Structure 1
Amino acid sequence: MFPKPLPQLTPNTYEYETLPLVKPTGFREYDARWLFEKEINLMGVQALGLGLGQLLHELGTKPEIVTGHDFRGYSSSIKYALIAGLMAAGVKVKDIGLALSPMAYFAQFDLDVPAVAMVTASHNDNGWTGVKMGAARPLTFGPDEMSRLKDIVLNAKFETRSGGSYEFIEGFGQRYINDLTNRPKLTRKLKVVAACGNGTAAAFAPQVLEGIGVEVVPLDTNLDHTFPRYNPNPEDLKMLHAIADAVRESGADVGLGFDGDGDRCGVVDNNGNEIFADKIGVMLARDLSALHPGATFVVDVKSTGLFDTDPVLRANGVKADYWKTGHSYIKRRVKELNALAGFEKSGHFFFNAPVGRGYDDGLVTAIAVLDMLDRNPAKSMADLYSDLPQTWGTPTMSPHCADEIKYDVVERVTQRFKDLQAQGGQVAGQAIRDLVTVNGVRVVAEDGTWGLVRASSNKPELVVVIESPVSEARTREMFKAVDDILRENPEVGAYNQTF
């Protein structure tokens, strides 16, 4: 009988080594994240494996699963603890070793395995760990599955079963590289900065880019799990600035940056200008809708309003569907609507056939960007960017807010804007034209300037994004208006970055 997990244990004690620790808040909306050793221990990870195995049996999913781990100093040990729990639950495990998250998703198709459990903290700082899980390719768990998994694990509602097994799939990384490069080479000569932040993508991205015919300028492509320069996160201005410097120094045509588990891609143009991912999404939607008129694109609520208003997209008959932020939500929506692609401001892009298989892969995104340049040989990346109608937007800004209270705070802020609208009040000096509440609250002023507040799905933070089609001054006015309402809540702390 495996012990019931506890929400808190003191490290360096007998109890810590003999009982499972699993902090309940680690079960997020669509994946799991904990501070390793502080919020989960190895026995807790075993309990997670047992619980995941139990859930697969409950869902009627064939009890076979792909697992891999990212390049952090502790990820391998966490994966093997997870495997121990899965095998005890009667699950056949196929281990692809060191991997990107999209490599694990690809393995579900390539190995014909229904389920996945990828050990990764994604772009979170060192110290964090987590698992991205799914039981129906190309989808990953949503709130329903995560809620049931949480109940199973925290209440030890799992049982041991026979039939579990382990198989290591040797050389799977090369199979993934071959899948991405088994295509015609680019016809345009391109020099590309490939920035990996010393994370897992360093083992794969340069080879893939070279394999499709580009000249690669490597940036932080030696594996180093201390992340000595910056955390590999292409939404982080520090990483984007480093890519921009490398583009200018090398004269590259474009800079591409990959996050810690390789499912996101950030882009810097040939002039060294950092392009937020939602604008890259508009550019790709323009390119792809020229080939596929009338296509549907799913975009998250953090993204630019241009998906609705861009004249080129309108001329191409594009249908834009604004949906909840989060890789699991967008992935499901893309599948439900049979959309050509889904775009998140965070850089998670989901390409359906004929471009991809429906899951988020930073390298597939990079290839799509390079194909766009290849189809527009007379234009630089900066030209394609300048072709877009101008808007003034902020980076994703995240004020600290504890996991236990962040959703309550967002509810309060949402209600505050609802009350303001009902009373005929103003935001940033104008009447409220619209409130979008599918995920947090997106408040839109009369001139189209908008501000978003939502709870982060994977960190103890809120998420704030502002955009104006009018001016930078209006962006700043909206930011102040949104921040003033946020500051009515004492639980909201300092921002990780502003603009």
Structure 2
Amino acid sequence: MSIYKDCDIRGIYGEDLREEEMGRIGRAVAGLLQGRTIVVGGDFRTHTPSLKAAFVEALLEGGAKVWDVGQVSTPQLYFSKRFLDAYGSAQITASHNPPKYNGLKLMLGELPVLPEDIREIQDRAESGKFESGEGTFHRVDTGSAYEEMLRSQYGQGKCVPLHVVIDAGNGAMSETAPRVMEALGLRVTRLYCSYDGTFPNRDPNPAVQKNLSALCLKVKEVQADFGVAFDGDGDRAIFVDSAGVPLLAEEAMVIFSDSLVRPGESVVYDLKCSSILQKAVLDAGGVAIMERSGHAFIRRHFLQAGSRLAGEVSGHYFFRELEGDDGLFALVTMADILRKSGRTLRGLLEQVRYTAITPDIRRAAPADEIDRIFRRMEDWAGEPGLKAVRIDGIRLEFPDGSWVLLRRSITEPAFTMRLEAPKEERLAKLLETAGQKLGVDLSSY
């Protein structure tokens, strides 16, 4: 599959993506910059330095003004863009993907890039026709300013002592997160908090529950108040309660919404989220806005709507203060909420009326088989009493609040599904019906 995705550029290093290709991408981006300033950083994967060097060299050849902030988390890169008042930002990273992957997260102007922006970069890179210029290069350390910003978000006053286990997964938050939380007075137990771009201890995606097993055990072992796991570049965070049970990202968003959203403020969420989040926002007097899945789509709508919060089931949390997302900012905010309330994570969720919901069901399949499944979903959508939402795939909504979502994967030949219903019995029936309607075995999802 192409390395040019809807929201970013990503591929397997040495196969889909090499320094030569990254150089062409850099020249293409330089053409869009037209001599303006861009902040460049990279994560801690083993091949990031060479890809970053090729990208920066190409930017300079294209006349860009480059601020190099070094190997940093993606949230620190976003902070650096605001702090340095740069036009663009570029992070060499493959985020939560396995270590063999790498890529580019890009922002030009005040809004995330759209699929048409990625297509233009692809067209320019593949054409080989580039504008030349004389760029400028500066190295700058924004780490202290970034950490000061994070510390300033933690409230003052009576402090309930908190103990947190931080699982950085050997990624970009390995040193920054423990240092910031200890500076705020928390007791920190470190887990996989040393940089290693091969990710030897766990896969860098914390949204997959099996990747949280060591964190869950450690939280119980040391009797911590809670735990957190970051992804490879630090913009995602998944929380674990004191019993060693992971929270859904929607549950964390409910806590944020209950604590931060005021009447009239909006919250953007991806259409895979459980309805518990929508209800929490509405109960707070807020406005709940559904958007298609994908970091760029969520962030763009969040910025355009001037929303208080936004979130995805993958563990991205967006805050108005940042104009974006940050896994460590989410941790600081969660710790502050716990400090002020004197309650546990589960205690903060005790008023939630839970539904029955599946995890994200992902199935590999040939393209023609996926097309057939979508045709059957369209047939189902034509039945009376159903509402079809098509902002991202097809989401069928039922009068009792149940829904079935079918989406195409943008990274591999596969489809994904998620289903929600008011009760377990209804979910079981919905799974059976969906399996029959679509010709898909959902008996052991």
TM-score of the pair, normalised by structure 1: 0.83
* Aligned equivalent of 2:12, options 21, 32, 35: 35
Cα gap change, 1:370 to 1:75, in 2 (>3 Å): same
Partner of 1:13 in structure 2? none
1:119-138 aligned at under 5 Å gives the runs 119-137=92-110
- Rounded to whole Å, the distance in 2 between the matches of 1:84 and 1:485 is 53
Q: CA deviation at 1:331?
A: 0.7
Is 2:164 the partner of 1:204?
Answer: no
Is 2:204 the partner of 1:232?
Answer: yes
Is 2:413 the partner of 1:468?
Answer: no
Cα gap change, 1:247 to 1:486, in 2 (>3 Å): farther
Residue 206 of structure 2: SS of its match in structure 1? coil
Partner of 1:278 in structure 2? 250
* Aligned equivalent of 2:62, options 89, 94, 97: 89
> In the comparison of the two structures, how many residue pairs are matched?
442
2:268–2:289 contact (8 Å) kept in structure 1 = yes
Q: CA deviation at 1:31?
A: 0.5
2:11–2:103 contact (8 Å) kept in structure 1 = yes
Q: CA deviation at 1:209?
A: 1.5
Cα gap change, 1:39 to 1:197, in 2 (>3 Å): same
1:447–1:470 contact (8 Å) kept in structure 2 = no
- Rounded to whole Å, the distance in 2 between the matches of 1:202 and 1:476 is 41
* Aligned equivalent of 1:417, options 377, 382, 385: 377
Q: CA deviation at 1:483?
A: 5.0
- Rounded to whole Å, the distance in 2 between the matches of 1:359 and 1:307 is 19
Partner of 1:4 in structure 2? none
Q: CA deviation at 1:459?
A: 4.8
Cα gap change, 1:234 to 1:331, in 2 (>3 Å): same
* Aligned equivalent of 2:358, options 382, 391, 394: 394
1:271–1:382 contact (8 Å) kept in structure 2 = no
1:65–1:91 contact (8 Å) kept in structure 2 = yes
Is 2:89 the partner of 1:105?
Answer: no
1:104-142 per-residue CA deviation (whole Å, 9 max, x = no partner) reads: 1111111111101100000001111110001113x3211
Structure 2 unaligned regions, length at least 5? none
Q: CA deviation at 1:88?
A: 1.1
Is 2:317 the partner of 1:317?
Answer: no
1:15-54 aligned at under 5 Å gives the runs 25-54=2-31
1:441-497 per-residue CA deviation (whole Å, 9 max, x = no partner) reads: 1222343222222233445543322222211x4334434544556656xxxxx99xx
- Rounded to whole Å, the distance in 2 between the matches of 1:411 and 1:335 is 34
2:380–2:437 contact (8 Å) kept in structure 1 = no
* Aligned equivalent of 2:129, options 144, 157, 161: 157
1:302–1:452 contact (8 Å) kept in structure 2 = yes
Residue 79 of structure 2: SS of its match in structure 1? helix
- Rounded to whole Å, the distance in 2 between the matches of 1:401 and 1:150 is 27
Partner of 1:363 in structure 2? 328
Q: Identity percentage over the alignment?
A: 29
Partner of 1:17 in structure 2? none
2:155–2:336 contact (8 Å) kept in structure 1 = no
* Aligned equivalent of 1:337, options 297, 305, 315: 305
Partner of 1:213 in structure 2? 185
Partner of 1:375 in structure 2? 340
1:64-75 aligned at under 5 Å gives the runs 64-75=37-48
- Rounded to whole Å, the distance in 2 between the matches of 1:457 and 1:99 is 27
- Rounded to whole Å, the distance in 2 between the matches of 1:459 and 1:294 is 39
Partner of 1:117 in structure 2? 90
- Rounded to whole Å, the distance in 1 between the matches of 2:15 and 2:173 is 27
Paired letter, 1:38: E
2:393–2:406 contact (8 Å) kept in structure 1 = yes
- Rounded to whole Å, the distance in 1 between the matches of 2:350 and 2:295 is 28
- Rounded to whole Å, the distance in 2 between the matches of 1:477 and 1:152 is 50
Q: CA deviation at 1:412?
A: 5.1
2:154–2:336 contact (8 Å) kept in structure 1 = no
Paired letter, 2:298: I
- Rounded to whole Å, the distance in 2 between the matches of 1:183 and 1:318 is 23
2:153–2:332 contact (8 Å) kept in structure 1 = no
Partner of 2:409 in structure 1? 456
Paired letter, 1:392: A
Structure 1 unaligned regions, length at least 5? 1-22, 425-431, 489-493
Partner of 1:297 in structure 2? 267
1:222-263 per-residue CA deviation (whole Å, 9 max, x = no partner) reads: 222221221121201122222211111111111111100001
The CA RMSD measured in Å over matched residues stands at 2.3
1:311-357 per-residue CA deviation (whole Å, 9 max, x = no partner) reads: xx4342111010111111111101111111111111111111xxx22
Paired letter, 1:390: Y
Cα gap change, 1:411 to 1:106, in 2 (>3 Å): farther
- Rounded to whole Å, the distance in 1 between the matches of 2:436 and 2:297 is 30
Shifted more, 239-248 versus 35-44: the winner is: 239-248
2:154–2:332 contact (8 Å) kept in structure 1 = no
Cα gap change, 1:421 to 1:464, in 2 (>3 Å): closer
Q: CA deviation at 1:423?
A: 4.1
Paired letter, 2:270: D
1:326–1:457 contact (8 Å) kept in structure 2 = no
- Rounded to whole Å, the distance in 2 between the matches of 1:329 and 1:82 is 25
Cα gap change, 1:480 to 1:232, in 2 (>3 Å): farther
1:298–1:341 contact (8 Å) kept in structure 2 = yes
